[in-house]
Structure 1
Amino acid sequence: MKKNDLLIAKIREQVDSVFSEMRNQIKKLSDNSELLDYKLNALWYEFYDELICFLEQKKLTSKDAQKPYIQDCEQYFLSLRQDYLSETPLAYPIKVWPKTTFFDPIPRQIRSTEAHLRLGQQHFHIAIALKEYWNDPCHEEITVDWIWGSFYLSLMYCSGCSDLSHLTAIGNTLINAIIEGELQVCSKLYHADYKKIINPLVLHYRVQQRAYGNQIDNRQVYQWRHIWLNPYSQLYIQGIKKRTAQALYTQTPRLVLESISTVLGRLPKELDLNYQMTGLKKLLRRSDAKLEEIRSLTPFENLNLAIELDPNSGLDMCLSEVMQNRLKTVSLTPMDQVRSWFDLFIDQDQTLPDDKQRIIPLHTEFVKPDLITAHQQLKEIPFELMLFERDQTEKNESHKRQRKSERIKWMRWKQIQQRLEQKKLVSGIYEKNIIEAQLRLLAWIFHLKAQNKKLNSIERYLSSIAKDYLFHIYMFTDDIETMNQEDCEELYEAILNSIDDRDQAKRESDPKANHGRAQYAFGRLKAFHTFCMKQYQVPKVSTFKYNDYQRVQFCDAKLISPKLFNQLKQVLTLKIEQSETSKEREYLYQLQLMYLLAFRLGMRLNEIRGLTLAEVICPELIWNHDTQGKIVNIHINLRNNVYRKLKSQNAKRQLDLNAVMLDAELALVQQHIKQCIMHNPVKTNHTEKLIFANDSEILSATYISEMTQMIFDKILGEGHGYTFHNFRHSAANHLAIAWLGSKEMVMTYTDYGWSQCKKMRKHLFGDTAIQNEAVIQHKWRLLADWMGHGTIEQTASHYLHILDLLVVDRIYHLPCTSHETAIKQILQGDIKGSKEDIIDLNHVIQKDRQFDFYHASQAVNKVDSVKLSRPTESKNLFVSTVIHDYIKYKSYEDHIWVTRSKKLATKWMAVKKFQESDFLDDGELITLYEYALKKGFDVKKCLDIPSMQKNVQKQIMIALKTLKEHGKVRKNFIHFQYCFDKQNRPRINWSVESLVLGLKCILPDHTELKLDNYPPDMTRKSREIKLSFINSAFGNVTLCIVFILLLHTIKQENLWI
């Protein structure tokens, strides 16, 4: 990059000034060399910080842009130092050697076919040579080191693991399993019903990490992973078991490297292994502590290409990155794996019985279409230090006037300190924390002044941490002076994470800019804590154990399997049946739909609660309410609205419900959306109509979280850690399997059918992609977009916990054979079922019971489709409840009232004459119900017939029978055909007067019956009698009354005999 000569000149002037000040310090403090060295170093590093700030002000924010100026000023300083030492007699040896190290990124390699082959050629030949060597019947003496080395090389060249820490962890995991007899550290990849195919063995292990994992044990972070325990590795681990006394010792990185060297040294000399052997020797010259820090083995880089180039492998680039541990991901912990996939569930004694479960009262809240920002909350904190917020007018004026003198600023800070000390004496605990935090910051300010720090440097130090420090102290509920080590670590972690979150948000908007405030704040916070340890005796913390900041990312990896989801729905159904009010019943049904959307689509809780009709794309439902029970296309277009703001710009996305939901589930969601549209008073504007709100009330997030936890407590017992957000984890993993897994993976871990997955893939990716689906990459891009992420790396590190299993699903077809003699030497005995010299190890392992890691391993049980929960029938059901729940939730499908209502609605509303043999569709019933809702239907309008007098009941029965047999509903009237004979006498077996008299007895208040064309006009061609019902506002409510009459009719057993 071209340098700006004017900037270089200005920087060199400042270097001259700094060196001149150093010479002055040498004259003053020549007798105290220790203090002098400290002062000289402080002068340089203070200048260095100012240099970085200066360059950033000049818009040189990236390391590449700053590099030439930093290097020039350092070289210039060293030249001044050399001149001083050579020209000055008895010169003081200045111990300042500035040299900033810049790590230039490795140029990205474009993997053309030729370059790809060139990189993988050597490892591909090594893999072939290894397998030929293992097939050789005449091995040299088989030692323990040789077996361990062959074991690790099989993991490297067959399973793709080239990480030294992972290899060590795998070896120790198997040793502990052998010693303790816990052979179930392994599991089979596919479900137990697959008997005729190879069911690969997968090892579950954990490895210690610094900043990423899904388990914390003794304050150490661990990452759980899966790896394919290939047949070679199973053979060699069985050989280790045969030599228990000599072979079972704790594996270390040094032992792993030595054992690998032992085997490579025995390979044919024609194979060029100089690079690998030299690299191993260099590594072995390092100390044990240095070897513990090594991850990837440099001599074996690009080893993955040996597997990628094998025609039996189906790895794509993303899964290759997973195999090489370059893409962060975690597998489930052992307990969460059991809860999700295996039948080894929690002992039922640990689950909560019904009588001990806490009762969670229904809690709703009114919808508030305004958003409170974090910035507004910060303004409410009672700051005394005016360091952070300035009015715009003050900013403008600051450019017009000269900056205040340092003396005035120090005086103002001193006055604030004195005022706060006086306030502290009379303040309460809540205000006292803020005051004490500000006093500590002020004390640190004066401490920095005593060290001759410049004012602008002190202000920059303070601005990097003070605002976040005060905000998190404000959120701390206990006394700040009683904070223990754990409290302090949580405080500093929260501060650094919040700063890093803001950096991350800026990176998304401007990826090229340098946003390293978290790293800078880490150093300042470390210095502030060191000061507080001396001044206020705060405890020592492990947060600053390292010299650089790496945010610990803890992945709460939990999955809700289809089986667990079924159990959840069963418990929720029971809650629905036991609900005491119709309001609670309605909201619990909505909660079931929320679970469904989260489980299938991966939506966040706030996205579901804030979902409006404006975000639903379905013209068939919006403009044509009568879909006649057919499934229509539904999309959800998530975006910001008046009720909620999405987490990021990438969270704005469109979700295709038809692609990922089962038909029965989609029908349930479709019916609910249809009801919302029918109830929306503003037909053309759905912006403010929430999907899951009744009369502007919605389930509170707290109630949903507590209910979710209580349901999981009932299923799994307490302490499981499951939350609503785990539905989102489940959706991401199930979609990854459905889109990228084999048929066996799909049938094992999801409740999708294979034919449905093929339709899903074709619908989402297209025919061309399906032809090359083993290697296409845009599936990963679509998955990241679906989850609302900018990259697949973000999705993998937070949500995907089955990537290791997908890797095994792609590579386990690699051939693994060995010579019968070699196998006998390793096992020190015969093997069963061997008839040929070269034996397929898969077949031997499946038949020979001595391979107990394989035969004692668990197998996932086959997952059935998720069935929609139906409430069981109650003895005290209301007819309105049954019909309502059938229409809205497809409940009570076999109830006699539902059958009668469909039959009666079809008979009344069908254009053609109804025949008893006609197929009963619920389209007419749903249409009538929706029209009734428009006209103001309320269950309270249904009068209680059994409570009336006997003679009145008789009149009502006569009217309902007439209506049932002769009525027809046309628009806003009930029509009755009035026939005459040749003498113009009525030819009917019912009385109009009796009909009218009986109907009037069950009409709601303020409703009148209107009779038209009675008696019939003999001169007219149409001789139909029309009945209609008018409310007090002179509105026609006939369809509402017809639905009420239908409810009365289907309940009367005498009318259906």
Structure 2
Amino acid sequence: MLINEIQLPKIIDGLAKFDGRKKRYVPYPSILKNSDTARTREIQLLADLQTEWESLKRIHPGSIGFIQSFNKYYQQALWPNERIFSFSPSSSDYFDLLWLSWSQSLSQFQIELYRQLEPLSQEGFDEFQSIIENKIAKAYESSRTLKHVWQVIVKFIDYQNKHYMFAEHHYPKIIAPQPTKTNPLITNTAWLKDGKALVKIICAVEHHWEQTADYSQDQIIGWLIFSGIVYGGINEVQMLQGWLISLLTKEYQPFIKERIMVSPRFVQKCFGNEREEGSDKLYNTKQIVVDMVSQCWLMNYHKSSSPAETTHIIAKLSEDKIKQYLTMVLSDLIKPLNIDLPPFLRFLRYASYYWEGLDDADIDHASVGVLQGMHNTAGLSTQDFYWFLNQKYQHTNEPYDLEHILTLSISKNSTNQKEKTNLSTKKIEVRKSDLIMNLTKDFKMDEKQKKQKTSKKPPTLIERVQKRYKQYDDLSEKILLDWVLSLLSRKGPPNNVTILKYLRAIGYEWLYFTTAQPLDIWSEEEFEELYEDILEYKAVVRNNTDIGYSANLLKSMHNFAKDKYNLPSVNFQHSKNGRRVRAELISPQAYQAIITQILGSVDILEREMFALLFILVYRTGMRKKELLGLKYNDIEGLKAATPSVVIRPNSYRPTKTQSSIRRVPLFALLKPNELSFFINFVQSNIGGNSNKFIFTLSSEQRPIDDHVPLKLLKRILKDISVADNVTDHTFHGFRHTAVSNLSLVLVGHSDLVEALTDYDESDVLRIKQGILGEHINAQDRWYALSGIMGHLSPERSFEYYNHFATLMATYALSKADITLPERTLYNVTGFTNKKLKENNANVRNSSVSIPSIRTLLFKNIIEGKRKSPKFTIENCDKKFLLSTNTPANNELFGRYGLNRVQLLLQAYDEELPLSKAAQLANISIHDAKVLIERASEVAAITTKRGKPRFVKLSDSNTPVLSPLNIQYQSDLRLLSLLLSNAYRLREKSETDWTWFIEICREKLSVSRAYLPFGKRDEKELQRFIDIAEKLLPLKRWLVSSNEDLLMQTMSSTDYQDIKQQSNESKNALHIGIASQDHREQMNKWQYSPLLRFFIHMMLITDEKLSILS
């Protein structure tokens, strides 16, 4: 025949052939033999895909019109280049074809070619997609394998589009089905069915209580358990057991609004806030408000039971025993009603059907999950919660030696920090390392060379890894390499496949989170937070279900690094038997005491910076690295007095995950006085360069070192603690506190917010609107909170940080308006009608509103221990901590921050129209005109020689309006305090204020930042010093003159704090603000330009001051 066989291109060409007997494509054995696991999987999958594709094409052919031009295939088959015609002896085939015309032969060829070229129809493609998804779901399980498989499928579809189809994306890309995230809060049919059955049981029980007056001890315990489940929401077995023990042993305490609270400590599988020393047993403690129906049965129990009986009961108490108690009281009751008693765990699971619907019980679904044990959460230990509510603090008036606090004492390896910072700067753009890829190559090369016989001995795997050691210099990379080498060098080491598995399990995340970090100076809490973040990332982003395996590997590597690199010991929260979380909260009383101590004891140049650091961490919960890495240009909305900070990576601070990049609304989270403090600090310290860090020492440009906040905190806690009971907190505890407090604000009842935080109603509304927007009661509150905190999921907030979750949920249930018959109350508690009326019980139609007897129950159960407390309200003085003394906005003075006024002047100097300059500085056009007019008058003030006193001349020889800039950060730090004291002085003594400004106006100049006083001006000098002391401490002022004049004038003990510097060439006393002279070694101090800048700006902004003398 003259026509060649049709051979269209296929993706499996050279990889597989069609097996007619099996009716499918089968890979060549020789190809599979030389392929690794991933390549073998790919070839087999491509063969299966080609088989399914061709099979479906025969059933669901599409239109040939969608195909590319097929001339090349037609010509290739019909007229190949090597085709030649020759005469040959006749054959039977030849005679068979004699009767066919050429047109008939070509027609048959075209039909066959068209048949093979026909594409797959849309219907066929949909079926292809469905078949593939089903096959893959059954054949592949691991997420890594699935990812590779779907990449192969995309490759196959792209091949069909490229080689056959006219349109580039004729066949759409098949998107890998994402694993559905189960929502445990969705109500299912079982919840409805069993919930309705449960309501029938509850109705029968309430009727039984009304009819029955006598109960045995076991029955009372059974009904107490029933009440806790049905009315109190205690729907998790271990929590129920701990709750019951606390009630029976009278371990309850009075809580706000006549509530009774217990803090049961109970064994909990896989999660807790304590781990028993020497074992893997975990304990959890939660704060629970006891519901009122359970209180009724509790009264009954303690009336009829002795302490000895209680001890005996508790000794035998277990999950099975609780189940027996409940089954005993319910089985005989419901049997005549033909109601089946649901299994114990199902009874717990579906009890929420009843209590979620109780009147006035406003409880969100996430809190329902907390009470059911679906969300792990931990409260404070009993002792810690007591101290949270009742700890007393004091103020110690003792100055701190900052040098001691700044000295690093955490690790002997912490050296050369500047080099580490530079290294961090280099690596910040790429938060990954190719180390894992290279090590994987080494392991594979080692396996490959073991199978080959060569005359030259290849390097061993240990030698290969050691060679890598020289290529990588980051500490995190060296730790990983050293750990791998230690595994390889062990006696009886794990096999190479196992070590590579270890490496892949934790190596990528370890390097992702730790590259370019100063691990050698990290504290224990920083490593604990690191491992929390890594494991959360694996669970949420990587969908790893067994994070215990990764936790154990991280623990092994850290223990190795602890010995080799002197890293701190870390109490790993995760283990094979569960994880322990750190539960810690800083009370409002402690917070206020900390800020007060900082403002009183830290050096004046640094105190506001450190106070602001602790204010922000307490209110926002930002991580330490995030705080220390803040720059002034990370602040938005400052002009409008609604600042937010944007957390984003920079040269100091890499962000941990994409969710860590976020906007934190300070205008909502800070209280009004704290917000004013923040704005004043920023406006005073930003200067002309916003691209600088906020939390630096006044003498440096770099952020303070990582260890400084914790070291300062420990010193403060030691000083503010009363007697020997030193409070122990970590810096990370502030993050726990912020999450817990904000969860109360966003979701909790106002009673709890008022009692446990220092927020008032206006604070709550401002925070809700700032975080949630207009709809403050929507269902996204928990997601909004996790977003503010930079968490990947709300579960992280619950498990690690929210220590009020159970308290919030049970308090919400305690608001439920439950009604019981008057007879029931008498049968259970013994309260007569007379007793109820005497205590103002709400009785209607022989039914009693249980909340109306709250006080009566409280008095009978608490037995006079103490009144119902208010906690924060009675223990925490809510006065303003931070006195910024900003004037009222009805005056121009203080209406705008100095940096905004300065921006207006600079813009006007640059010949921007006044309207544009005012808009740029966010100043009203009226105020801008006033400020420009006054600035022009100040610029016109001249010296005796006729030169401008406060401003320099421009290139065109005309005065500019902008003040001379302040050069040093230490001067900017003093400006904040200077302004605050200036507002106070102006308010208290306007005469002194005016005199001070006027004398400075007359004596300061561009060439001198000090005031000269002659020998005869002693009274003026004395008055100046008296006023100056009200603006800045005397140790911040500098006086220089000749030795005799200094001795004569400044020898008084009143002036001993003023810095003095002798200069025999001077015949007058020169006084100004002192600034450290970094240029000179001999003369330690110089006059700061701060005073001149301050006077200049006051003359412009204070309309009461006369500019011209």
TM-score (norm 1): 0.59
Matched, 1:126 2:152: no
CA distance in 1, matches of 2:861, 2:1023: 79
What is the match of residue 980 of structure 2?
Answer: 890
Could you say if the C-alpha distance between residues 112 and 693 of structure 1 is closer, same or farther in structure 2, counting changes exceeding 3 Å?
A: same
Deviation at 1:612, TM superposition (A): 0.6
Q: Secondary structure at the match of 1:186?
A: strand
Q: Does 2:264 align with 1:205?
A: yes
Asked whether 1:308 is paired with 2:393, we answer no
Pairs within 5 Å for 1:49-60: none
C-alpha contact (below 8 Å) 2:620/2:738 kept by paired residues: yes
Structure 2 CA distance, aligned partners of 1:259 and 1:812?
24
SS at match of 1:312: coil
Contact 1:832/1:847 (8 A) holds in 2: no
> Equivalent residue for 2:893?
none
Q: Does 1:742 align with 2:744?
A: no
Work out whether 1:145 is the aligned partner of 2:194.
no
Q: CA deviation at 1:761?
A: 2.8
2:620 maps to amino acid = L
**Aligned amino acid, residue 243 of structure 1:** S
Q: Equivalent residue of 2:286, what SS?
A: strand
Letter in 1 for 2:994: L
Q: SS in structure 1 opposite 2:651? A: coil
Higher RCO (Cα < 8 Å, 6 or more apart): 1
Aligned AA (1:780): W
Asked whether the 8 Å contact 2:291–2:813 carries over to 1, the reply is no
Query: How far apart are 1:208 and its partner, in Å?
Result: 1.5
- The 2-side partners of 1:676 and 1:711 are apart by 25
Q: 1:674 aligns with which of 683, 692, 695?
A: 683
Mark the CA change 1:138 to 1:462 in structure 2 (over 3 Å): closer, same or farther: closer
Change (3 A) 1:112 1:848: closer
Residue 223 of structure 1: aligned partner: 284
Pick closer, same or farther for the CA change 1:708–1:435 going to 2, 3 Å.
Answer: closer
Matches within 5 A, 1:360-759: 360-362=404-406, 370-372=422-424, 390=438, 403-405=449-451, 438=485, 441-442=488-489, 457=497, 460=500, 463=503, 502=534, 504-505=536-537, 509=541, 511=543, 519=549, 550=576, 552-576=578-602, 584-618=603-637, 620=639, 632-677=641-686, 679-680=687-688, 682=689, 686-690=690-694, 692-694=696-698, 695-716=700-721, 717=724, 720-759=727-766
Provide Cα deviations, 1:463-507, integer angstroms capped at 9, x if missing partner. 568989999xxxxxxxxxxxxxxxxxx99x999998996564356
Distance (whole Å) between structure 2 residues aligned to residue 298 and residue 846 of structure 1: 34
- How far did residue 329 of structure 1 move? 1.2
Distance 1:502 1:654 in 2: 22
- With 199-208 and 111-120 compared, the bigger mean Cα shift is at 111-120
Aligned to 1:807: 809
Residue 868 of structure 1 aligns to which amino acid in structure 2?
A: L
Alpha-carbon distance change, 854 to 615 in structure 1, aligned in 2, over 3 angstroms: farther
Q: Which residue identity does 1:229 align to in structure 2? A: V
Cα deviation for residue 658 of structure 1 reads 1.6
Change (3 A) 1:147 1:592: same
- How far apart in 1 are the matches of 2:526 and 2:605? 40
Q: CA deviation at 1:734?
A: 1.9
Structure-1 separation of matches of 2:732 and 2:553: 34
* Cα pair 1:671 1:888 within 8 Å, conserved: no
Alignment of 1:825-904 (within 5 A): 825-826=827-828, 833-835=835-837, 838-844=847-853, 846-847=855-856, 851-853=860-862, 855-856=864-865, 859-861=869-871, 862=873, 863-865=876-878, 867-869=880-882, 884=974, 887=977, 890-891=980-981, 894-895=984-985, 899-900=989-990, 903-904=993-994
Using a 3 Å threshold, how does the CA distance of structure 1 residues 556 and 890 change in structure 2: closer, same or farther?
farther
State the alpha-carbon separation in 2 of the partners of residues 203 and 156 from structure 1: 15
Deviations 1:626-667 (A, max 9, x none): xxxxxx121111111122112321111112222122221111
Task: Give, in whole Å, the separation in 2 of the partners of 1:419 and 1:600.
Answer: 47
What SS does the corresponding residue of 1:636 show, helix, strand or coil? strand
SS in structure 2 of the partner of residue 637 of structure 1: strand
> Residues 348 and 372 of structure 2 are in contact (CA less than 8 Å); yes or no, is this contact kept in structure 1?
no
Q: 2-side partners of 1:890 and 1:409: how far apart? A: 83
Percent of matched pairs sharing the same residue: 16
Task: State the match for 1:1010 in structure 2.
Answer: none
Tell me how far 1:615 sits from its aligned partner: 0.7
Task: State the SS of the aligned residue for 2:288.
Answer: strand
Q: 1:434 to 1:860 in 2, by over 3 A?
A: same
- Once residues 733 and 554 of structure 2 are traced to their aligned partners in structure 1, the CA distance between those partners, rounded to angstroms, is 37
- Residue 317 (structure 1) aligned with residue 369 (structure 2): no
Task: Measure, in 1, the Cα distance between the counterparts of 2:426 and 2:492.
Answer: 27
1:942 aligns with: 1010
1:214 matched to 2:270: no
Instruction: Determine the structure 1 residue equivalent to 2:329.
Output: 263
Could you tell me which runs of 5 or more consecutive residues in structure 1 were left unpaired when the two chains were aligned: 13-49, 72-103, 281-296, 421-430, 449-455, 472-489, 530-542, 577-583, 622-631, 873-879, 910-924, 961-998, 1006-1036, 1051-1057
SS in 2 for 1:834: helix
Give, as a single letter, the amino acid of the residue that structure 2 aligns with 1:647.
K
Checking the alignment, whether the CA contact within 8 Å between 1:211 and 1:551 is kept in structure 2 is yes
Indicate conservation of the 8 Å contact 2:621/2:734, yes or no.
Answer: yes
- 1:590 deviates by 0.6
- What amino acid maps onto 2:878 in structure 1? S
| Deviation for aligned residue 1:813 | 2.4
SS of corresponding position for 1:553 = strand
Letter in 1 for 2:804: I
Shift in Å, 1:594: 0.6
SS in 2 for 1:338: helix
Q: 1:722 to 1:1000 in 2, by over 3 A?
A: same
Whether the 8 Å contact between 1:832 and 1:848 is mirrored in structure 2 is no
Cα distance in 1 for partners of 2:459, 2:420 equals 42
Task: State the SS of the aligned residue for 1:314.
Answer: coil
Q: Compared with structure 1, are the counterparts of its residues 588 and 236 closer, same or farther at alpha carbon in structure 2 (3 Å cutoff)?
A: same
What is the aligned partner in structure 2 of residue 234 from structure 1? 295
Q: What is the deviation of 1:223?
A: 1.3
CA-based RMSD of the aligned residues comes to: 6.2
In 1, the alpha carbon distance for the partners of 2:882 and 2:635 equals 25
1:253 aligns with 2:326: no
Name the CA distance, whole Å, in 2 between partners of 1:64 and 1:338. Answer: 58
Distance 1:414 1:907 in 2: 80
- TM-score, length-normalised on structure 2? 0.56
Instruction: Provide closer, same or farther for how the CA distance between residues 888 and 593 of structure 1 changes in structure 2, counting only shifts above 3 A.
Output: farther
In structure 1, C-alpha distance between the alignment counterparts of 2:507 and 2:973, rounded to whole Å: 59
How far residue 54 of structure 1 moved from its aligned partner, in angstroms, is: 7.8
Q: 1:443 Cα shift?
A: 5.2
For residue 377 of structure 2, the aligned residue among 320, 323, 329 is 329
The 3 A distance-change label for structure 1 pair 252 and 745 is same
- Give the paired residue count: 754
Q: Distance in 2 between matches of 1:203 and 1:905?
A: 64
Q: CA deviation at 1:561?
A: 2.1
Rounded to whole Å, the distance in 2 between the matches of 1:1038 and 1:229 is 61
Q: Secondary structure of the equivalent of 2:817? A: coil
Q: Determine helix, strand or coil for the equivalent of 1:170.
A: helix
Instruction: Give, in angstroms, the shift of residue 300 of structure 1.
Output: 3.6
Are the aligned partners of 1:640 and 1:646 in contact in 2 as well (CA < 8 Å)? Answer: yes
CA contact (8 A) 2:745 2:764 kept: yes
SS in 1 for 2:261: strand
| Aligned residues of 2:436 and 2:504 also touching (Cα < 8 A) | no
